[in-house]
Amino acid sequence: MITGGARRVGACIARALHGAGFNVALHCRRSQRQAREMADELNAARRDSACVLAADLRDAAAVRELARAARTRWRRLDALINNASVFFGTSLAAPDDARIDELIGVNIKAPLLLAGELAEELARREGCIVNLTDCYASQPLQGHAAYCATQAALAMLTRSLALELAPRVRCNAVAPGAILWPEGDGDDEERRRAVLRRTALARTGEPADVAQAVLFLVTSAGYITGETIAVDGGRY
């Protein structure tokens, strides 16, 4: 299952895993049309190999139901990809409790709950978890204290789950850098150029770069757990 699997990097991860022979459950919240279109595309390539699971990751009950649906759709689950996240700034002077709760709920609470709900099934399959974090887990972004805190928490959750779920379940993370600019980011070209000046390869990456790292961790990293792979062009 790939959370946030209908669009952007999540969709690329889903296609990479599907191309490697996996059946894929595409989680979405608002992007149900895109998720259905992708599922149709993948099912046309291989019958009954993709499904759509809609859930609001801010809702703990919905997260638990999502886990149940993912576990039962094909009567097995081998990999959980926690890709879904929300990104926006928060004010320290006038904090918005609902916005902070959303960041915590989607970015860290949902991955934790999904891991707990699916731990037994993943252990049965000797499966794995891959969390998508980012460079702001270790390098804070001004005006985004709450978001950065959730990314740091997700990085530590990765290491904690590697310990908690060993030896039968591996847990790793991928930390993309400048791959796709955040939606609603505007057209601040100078800020984008500044990001690329701090990137050794001096260019943006591609969603496929992230997807290949995820595919490696799922299929070819049997002796790797508790690690984070930076796919950031050398920015870190």
Write out the catalytic residue numbers. 147
Q: Taking the mean position of all CA atoms in its chain, how far away is CA 78? A: 16
Q: Which of 176, 80, 163, 93 is nearest to 137 (CA)?
A: 176
30 backbone φψ class: left, alpha, beta (φ>0; ψ -120 to 50):
alpha
CA torsion sign, 158 to 16 to 179 to 58?
A: negative
CA distances from 195 to 192, 201, 236 (A): 5, 11, 11
* Both tokens assigned to 147: 């978001």
Strand 50-54 versus strand 24-28 pairing type: parallel
Rounded to an integer, what distance in angstroms lies between the CA atom of residue 173 and that of residue 230? 9
Sole residue written with tokens 């209908």: 6
Sole residue written with tokens 């299952």: 1
CA distances from 16 to 38, 42, 199, 218, 223 (A): 13, 11, 26, 11, 21
